[in-house]
Amino acid sequence: MSKWTQPGVLLLDKHSGVTSMKAVSQLKGKLKLHKVGHAGTLDPLATGLLICLLNGATRLAPYASAGQKRYTGIMSFGVESSTDDVDGSLSKRNVPPPALSVIRDMLTRFEGTIDQVPPQVSAVKVNGQKAYQRAR
């Protein structure tokens, strides 16, 4: 198979346990691409759409990541994690679940543009090192 040189966009369904960079690296090797980038990092535990930009299309990254996004998830009440995800040690608390009206009210706080404080185990860099590397 010869090297793919045309620009393009590939929509990749990223699996849990794979970093965005690992997915891009595998794609580059399998398709023999000159250059590959992505339009936004997904958490290694997250699944979902990873927008991959091929060759000359990598310059479109700011436009590819500018659109609206939708997230889905599963919530468990009465459980805490030391890392804010399923990788940490879990501890249970005997707390009754909140009323549905309280949950709906709380969810409205996550609509639109929000300021988010990343957890200590995120990929955000602090003094040149990923926060999760410092925390673990």
- Greater pLDDT, 105 or 121: 105
Co-location of 83 and 35 in the same domain: no
Q: What CA–CA distance (Å, rounded) separates 92 from 80?
A: 6
Co-location of 95 and 53 in the same domain: no
Which of 17, 32, 64 terminates a domain? The answer is 64
Q: By percentage, how much of the chain surpasses pLDDT 90?
A: 38
Q: Per the domain annotation, does 53 fall within a domain?
A: yes
Query: Of these residues, 43, 84, 85, 87, which one is catalytic?
Result: 43
Q: What CA–CA distance (Å, rounded) separates 53 from 39?
A: 7
Co-location of 39 and 86 in the same domain: no
Co-location of 90 and 129 in the same domain: yes
Q: Per the domain annotation, does 70 fall within a domain?
A: no
Q: Which domain holds residue 47?
A: 8-64
Number of domains into which the chain is organized: 2
Active site residue 84: no
3-state secondary structure of 109: helix
What pLDDT sits at residue 22?
A: 96
Q: Tell me the whole-structure pTM to 2 decimals.
A: 0.71
Which of 23, 41, 64 terminates a domain? The answer is 64
What pLDDT sits at residue 34?
A: 86
Asked if 114 contacts 122 with a C-beta cutoff of 8 angstroms, the reply is: no
